[in-house]
């Protein structure tokens, strides 16, 4: 059985070492998922460029997408990481649990987003017309739609990588629901 090791700074390319140094200054450490992405010469930089790209969405909307996709895909690493990020960006513990369950009672616009993301993720891009109509009725636009799908793709990639590699969780483990 193939097992994977999260590389250390010394085990990655010089370009990735620079990224590690930047992450360590910014975050205090290099999260294990990011470190494994550095197994690829370009993987980590490409992922971070996508992750940090400008978006029409708020940080809370992004976290709804991150938590919803990760919950559906069963990525405990990303659920744990984005529970921390969600709290840093204003969500309470109970709100994060509601997001993960896919039924948001505290914000109708975020609930429309969560319902759309749930359908897109579960149906591999085939959301119902009702979910699309509800998303737009809640105030989202064509620009929002593109940005939502970009984040779903980004999160799906990291969910799949973490599932295959079984990246050790280096965040406080999120509670089961």
Residues 81 and 44 in one domain: no
Residue 66 maps to a domain: yes
Residues 72 and 29 in one domain: no
Residue 18 maps to a domain: yes
Residues 66 and 95 in one domain: yes
For the chain, what is the domain count?
Answer: 2
What CATH number does the domain containing 124 carry? 1.20.1290.10
pLDDT tens-digit profile, the chain (177 residues): 899 999 999 999 999 999 999 999 999 999 999 999 999 999 999 999 999 999 999 999 999 999 999 999 999 999 999 999 999 999 999 999 999 999 999 999 999 999 999 999 999 999 999 999 999 999 999 999 999 999 999 999 999 999 999 999 999 999 999
The predicted pLDDT at position 44 comes to 98
Residues 44 and 80 in one domain: no
Residues 82 and 119 in one domain: yes
Residues 120 and 148 in one domain: yes
The predicted pLDDT at position 82 comes to 98
Residues 78 and 119 in one domain: yes
The predicted pLDDT at position 28 comes to 96
Residue 175 maps to a domain: no
Residues 77 and 15 in one domain: no
Residue 20 maps to a domain: yes
Residues 130 and 106 in one domain: yes
The predicted pLDDT at position 33 comes to 98
What is residue 10's DSSP assignment?
A: G
**Structural domain for 38, as ranges:** 9-51
Residue 2 maps to a domain: no
Residue 170 maps to a domain: no
Residues 25 and 92 in one domain: no
Residues 77 and 33 in one domain: no
Question: Per residue in 44-76, is it b (16+ CB within 10 Å) or e — as a string?
Answer: bbebeeebeeebebeebbbbbbbbbbbbbbebb
CA angle (150 as vertex; 152, 13 as ends), nearest 5: 95
Per the document, the length of the chain is 177
Residue 144 maps to a domain: yes
Residue 171 maps to a domain: no
Region for 139 from its dihedrals, namely left if φ exceeds 0, alpha if ψ lies in -120 to 50, beta otherwise: left
Residues 40 and 74 in one domain: no
């Amino acid at each position: 059985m193939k097992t994977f090791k999260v590389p250390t700074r010394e085990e990655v390319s010089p370009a990735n070492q620079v990224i590690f140094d930047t992450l360590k200054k910014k975050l205090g450490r290099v999260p294990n998922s990011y470190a494994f992405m550095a197994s690829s010469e370009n993987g980590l930089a490409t992922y971070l460029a996508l992750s940090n790209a400008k978006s029409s969405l708020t940080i809370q909307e992004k976290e709804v997408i991150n938590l919803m996709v990760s919950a559906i895909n069963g990525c405990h690493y990303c659920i744990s990481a984005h529970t921390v990020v969600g709290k840093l960006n204003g969500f309470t513990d109970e709100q994060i649990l509601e997001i993960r369950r896919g039924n948001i009672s505290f914000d109708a616009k975020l609930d429309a987003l969560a319902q759309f993301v749930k359908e897109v993720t579960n149906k591999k891009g085939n959301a119902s017309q009702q979910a699309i109509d509800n998303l737009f009725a809640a105030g989202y636009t064509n620009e929002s739609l593109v940005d939502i799908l970009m984040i779903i793709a980004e999160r799906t990639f990291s969910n799949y990588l973490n599932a295959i590699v079984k990246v050790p969780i280096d965040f406080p483990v999120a509670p089961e629901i």
